């Protein structure tokens, strides 16, 4: 069983439970900038809904980008922490591979086979791929009379 997390957009929090090559459970929310408030409760709710214990997860899959800075960072940090704590592999998925359910299942299936067949399933953290250079603005001078 694989838990998939996608927070690549500022208005997207999507998690799926993938079992035997199909999407078994899904939760999705499109509220802007709400990932921090809802991601962990969503994961808990999805596992409870499917009557799944965290220990039953074989791997986690996370969209690594491209995407927004804060939204990607939040999802990837959560996935890295969960995978490390549960001692399960982490599968990196691009936003393009997660566009449709069919593409997502195909990408996860091919990547999971490679990872799960390795004898030494060492946790390897995922790093966000933002898709562009950072846009750091110059500090504005404020005039206060």
**pLDDT score for 82:** 94
Residue 117 pLDDT exceeds 70: yes
**pLDDT score for 120:** 62
How many residues are given for the chain? 145
Write out pLDDT tens, residues 46-56. 999 989 999 99
Q: Summarize the confidence of residues 88-103 as an average pLDDT.
A: 91
């Amino acid at each position: 069983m694989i838990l998939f997390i996608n927070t690549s957009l500022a208005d997207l929090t999507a998690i799926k439970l993938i079992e035997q090559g199909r999407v078994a459970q899904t939760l999705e929310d499109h509220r802007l900038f709400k990932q921090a408030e809802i991601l962990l409760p969503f994961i808990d709710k999805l596992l409870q809904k499917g009557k799944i214990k965290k220990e039953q997860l074989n791997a986690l899959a996370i969209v690594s980008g491209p995407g927004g800075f804060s939204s990607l960072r939040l999802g990837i940090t959560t996935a890295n922490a969960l995978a490390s704590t549960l001692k399960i592999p982490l599968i990196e998925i691009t936003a393009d591979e997660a566009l449709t359910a069919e593409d997502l299942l195909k990408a996860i299936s091919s990547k999971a086979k490679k990872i799960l067949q390795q004898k030494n399933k060492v946790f390897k953290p995922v790093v966000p791929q933002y898709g562009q250079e950072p846009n750091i603005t110059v500090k504005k001078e404020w005039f206060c009379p």
